[in-house]
Every structure is written in C-alpha cells, then in structure tokens.
Amino acid sequence: MGLQVFSLEGQRALVTGGGTGIGLGISKAIIEAGGKVVITGRREDVLKEAVAELGKNASYRVNDITDKASIPTLVESIETEEGPIHILVNNAGIHHKAWAQDTADEDFERVIQTNLISVFSLTRECAKYMLKRKKGSIIMIGSMAGLFGIDRVIAYSASKTALTGLVNSLTTEYAKNNVRVNAIAPGWITSNMFLNAVNKDQARKQQITNRIAMDHFGTPEDIGNAAVFLSSEGAKYITGVILPVDGGATVNF
C-alpha cells in the first residue's frame, strides 16, 4: 500500500485548542494528509485567523472545554452538521508555573479541570459515536512533565501524568470496538510564548538544551506528523502508547 496507509483522506478530526501552537501544527498536518479538521477554542478571532490559514478543509467552533455542559451539544452538532468525528485530538490545556508550596488549591483544581477532567468528558462523548461505528483514533497530548520531574509545574505535571492512566484504562475498554487511544508527549516545542519565556531565563534555557539529545527544539509540525501517523491505517495495531516526540530528552543524560 506504500504511503497510502498514512493518508487521512475522508477522515475528520476534532482538535481542541487548534488555533495556535501545537494544535495548529497538528491541524495543518492532518489537512496535508488529506483530512478535514474542526478546531475549537475560546477566542473566535484566533480561530477565524487559523481557519483562513488552514483553508477550505478547516472549520471552527467557539467552545470552552471546561464548560462540561456544552460538550454533548458540541459533539452532536459536529456529527450531524459536518459528519462523523473519526479522530479526536485532546490538545487544549493550561499551565500554572509556581513552586508547590506557592500553588493554591484553586490553581491546582483549575489545571486538573482543564487538562484532565474536561479531556475525559470530551473523550467519553466522542467515543459514544466512535464505539458504535467500531472505528476511531483518540489522541491525548501529554508532556515531558508527565514522564519525569520538572520543578514549578506541580499541577500541570499531575494532570499530564494522569493522562497515562486515562490512556491505559480507555485502551482496555475501547480496543474491542477498534477505537484506539494513544498519547503524544511533546518535548520542548518552539512557539512565540515558549521562546519568549526561555530567552528571559538563560539558565533555564541551558538546562533544557542540555536535556535534549538532539541539538534543537522541536516544531508544532513534528507533533502534527506524529498525530497523523497515530491516526492512520499505518498505526492500526497501535493503541495504549505514550509516544515522546522530544529529540531524545526522556532518555538523555
């Protein structure tokens, strides 16, 4: 079959937080592989700009993933108005940078709500349709902070580590209906926000650079290509995997 096994022709993906950064990189890669995307986010102006860049195979829905009551309506409207959601990419997430001793319960809960509970709520709703069709790819976007210890990201780290448990358990329940559940754990990926942050803290930048086995940061497209692979027929026997896309950071000393 050659490269055809990596085609997403006829596939539709829902990408949360798809208007910027990694989410936009994933959306681009899916469209380049022949698929269609529906992106969500809270800011309509950002989504409109992204869709203008992505082209005719992209559409958007304004949605706050933490508004759990809106999730069934969101999924149903996409399924009925645009067509089946074959691929779900749980990309939307928030960060809270503080030492553990300075992290309030409210901060911790807010991160867990967005990065974990809302992810489960949306996954369960999309799976309702995928399981009936006996086909689907669900991708969680994890983090290096879910694979090894990083200081000052206690809430974020807990939320991303918990995604591994979500992947493991959902795999055991969904696999019989050919719905695959995997996660991508991005390393340090270039974005304006990331570059601004590390350039202000040269010691932190050096610490990160030393950790990466390769000699450069990753790009959103690197994560997008991994998402395309995991959603394609080329990965039809892959489920329950946490895939680091990190330039070797998880194994480098």
User: Catalytic amino acids?
Assistant: 156
Rounded Cα–Cα distance for residues 36 and 41 (Å): 17
Exposure of 31 in the CB half-sphere (CA atoms within 13 A): 21
Q: Which of 224, 226, 242, 243 is nearest to 21 (CA)?
A: 224
Nearest to 227 by CA among 125, 122, 141: 141
Would you tell me the crossing angle of helices 105-112 and 154-174 to the nearest 10 degrees?
Answer: 30
Q: DSSP 3-state helix, strand, coil percentages of the chain (rounded to 5)?
A: 55, 15, 30
Q: Please report, for residues 218, 234, 249, the alpha-carbon distance to residue 209 in angstroms, rounded to integers and kept in the order given.
A: 11, 32, 9
Beta-carbon contacts of 111 under 8 Å, excluding residues fewer than 6 positions away, are 94, 95, 96, 155, 156, 158, 159
- β-bridge partners, 229: none
- Alpha carbon distances (Å) from 35 to 62, 86, 147, 199, 219: 21, 10, 30, 36, 20
Helix H, strand E, coil C: the string for 216-243 is CCECHHHHHHHHHHHHCHHHCCCCCCEE
